[in-house]
Amino acid sequence: MKQTIKAVNMTLVHWTYTKDEWKAFLRSTLKRKKTFYHLISLVLARRAKTVPEVCITPEKVWIGNNQQYFNSSKHELRQIDLRHDGFVNILLITYGRDGSNHEIRIPVPKGKLREAIEVQDRLMPHF
């Protein structure tokens, strides 16, 4: 992850999580289908030895060594919301691709809600 983050031009946030935060997020996420995080969370759950990390740029989200674009020539950023889901705050990025909507659910670590609001404001200044 450290090498990939260095390669990112403009990092908006780089978050790490406690194991308890990540477990709470996995519990809330595994209930949902058709999200990028559903697949990624299963991969990361198997790699419990490493500290989960998320990096958000204006174009994509890095989750561990996996990336998902939401704002590029093939992806249209549509909305960013902050939601409370059980014990976890979620930054929800909605984007369009190939005529359909997709979501990326990103847990907001404790004490980082202000950073999440800043990410929302920077990516969607007209909302």
> Is residue 127, in this structure, part of any structural domain at all?
no
Distances 73 to 22, 48, 57, 97 between C-alpha atoms, Å: 31, 34, 15, 10
> Is residue 6, in this structure, part of any structural domain at all?
no
In the chain, what percentage of residues exceed pLDDT 90? 51
Phi–psi pair at 124, nearest 5 degrees:
-130, 65
More confident residue, 103 or 34: 103
More confident residue, 22 or 114: 114
Q: What's the mean per-residue pLDDT of the chain? A: 81
> Is residue 3, in this structure, part of any structural domain at all?
no
Distances 55 to 34, 44, 61, 73 between C-alpha atoms, Å: 21, 15, 6, 20
Over residues 11-66, the pLDDT tens digits come to 999 999 988 888 777 777 666 655 555 556 556 555 556 667 999 999 999 987 88
> Is residue 75, in this structure, part of any structural domain at all?
yes
How many independent structural domains does the chain possess? 1
Range of the domain at 99: 11-121
In whole angstroms, what is the distance from residue 76 CA to residue 31 CA? 26
In whole angstroms, what is the distance from residue 84 CA to residue 44 CA? 22
* Of the candidates 81, 49, 76, the residue with the CA atom closest to the CA atom of residue 64: 49
In whole angstroms, what is the distance from residue 89 CA to residue 113 CA? 8
Residue 104's pLDDT is what? 93
> Is residue 48, in this structure, part of any structural domain at all?
yes
> Is residue 5, in this structure, part of any structural domain at all?
no
pTM: 0.77
